[in-house]
Structure 1
Amino acid sequence: MTAVPGASGRIAAGERGETRIADRVVAKIAAQAAKEAVDEPPEGGTAPRATVTVRRDTARVRVSLELGYPGDIGRQCGGVRRRVVERVRALAGMDVPEVTVQVERLHPTGAGAAAQGRIR
């Protein structure tokens, strides 16, 4: 422990206590990052949701989202993973060794979106 000079034996501010960030806060950061990473959010779709498990300075993240179709699903999921890792690391100071992306629904986009039902 390092005492603050002239403070009669007080412990320096940087060495007192700890900072804890709630799981729900990290989940909100991850959900917002996923929303930022998706090319175009599907019309009528729901916003991405995230759940996290935090152990010490490590967060494992699961993101559920909806995507437009047709589109490069693999590329979009990779972009979501990268953005979530980057934002959680920058804003919460946590390592993110695992981001699981779960695509819950695909929404038709473009000219095919106007057609309802199946065409034979």
Structure 2
Amino acid sequence: MPPAERGATRIADRVVAKIAAQAACEAIGPLPEDAARPHATVVIRPQAQGPGQAPVEAADIRLHLELGYPVDIGARCRAVRRHVVERVGALVGMEVPEVAVEVERLHPPAGRGAQGRTR
């Protein structure tokens, strides 16, 4: 019997979210001491395949990040999206059609916190 006919594997949303958050950490690099680690929320949905093919699952991911400042926010977010898509695809085998990144806070370099607000 072919493997696809023997059973099914379901990966929980929270597992994919944890993998996505870890991938975001890898892409961001070192964070300031007071920065929160990235966290993710995931919606997994089936994607239709051709006739006679089993549907595959896709993960829509929303990431919440804090970044050090100054930083090229657009470039950093693109790098995070790219890395998350690669890692989730490689580790979970899911397509990732959407990665929404929300930058929640910017952290100034150490010693510059009193000069102004970056929130």
Shared fold by TM > 0.5?
Answer: yes
In the TM superposition, residue 115 of structure 1 has moved relative to its aligned partner by: 4.7
TM superposition score normalised by structure 2? 0.82
Sort the Cα spacing of 1:54 and 1:106 in 2 relative to 1 into closer, same or farther, 3 A: same
CA distance in 2, matches of 1:93, 1:32: 16
Structure 1 match to 2:13: 23
Moved over 3 A (4+): none
TM-score by length of 1: 0.81
Is the 8 Å Cα contact of residues 39 and 76 (structure 1) preserved in structure 2? no
**2:67 aligned partner:** 67
Structure 2: distance between partners of 1:96 and 1:13: 24
1:24 maps to amino acid: R
Tell me what 2:44 maps to: 54
For residues 25-104 of structure 1, the aligned pairs below 5 Å read: 25-56=15-46, 57-104=57-104
Structure 1: gaps spanning 5 or more residues: 3-11
Give the drift of 1:117. 4.2
What's 2:53 paired with? none
Aligned to 2:114: 116
Unaligned runs of 5+ in 2: 47-56
Task: Give, in whole Å, the separation in 2 of the partners of 1:28 and 1:39.
Answer: 17
Report how far residue 41 of structure 1 moved. Answer: 1.2
Aligned to 2:107: 107
Name the amino acid aligned to 1:116: A
CA distance in structure 2 between the aligned counterparts of 1:18 and 1:115, rounded to whole angstroms: 52
Change in Cα spacing, 1:20 to 1:108, as seen in structure 2 (3 Å) is same
Higher Rg of the two aligned structures: 1
Check whether the contact 1:65–1:102 (CA below 8 A) recurs between aligned residues. Answer: yes
Give aligned-pair identity as a percent. Answer: 59
Output the aligned Cα RMSD.
1.5
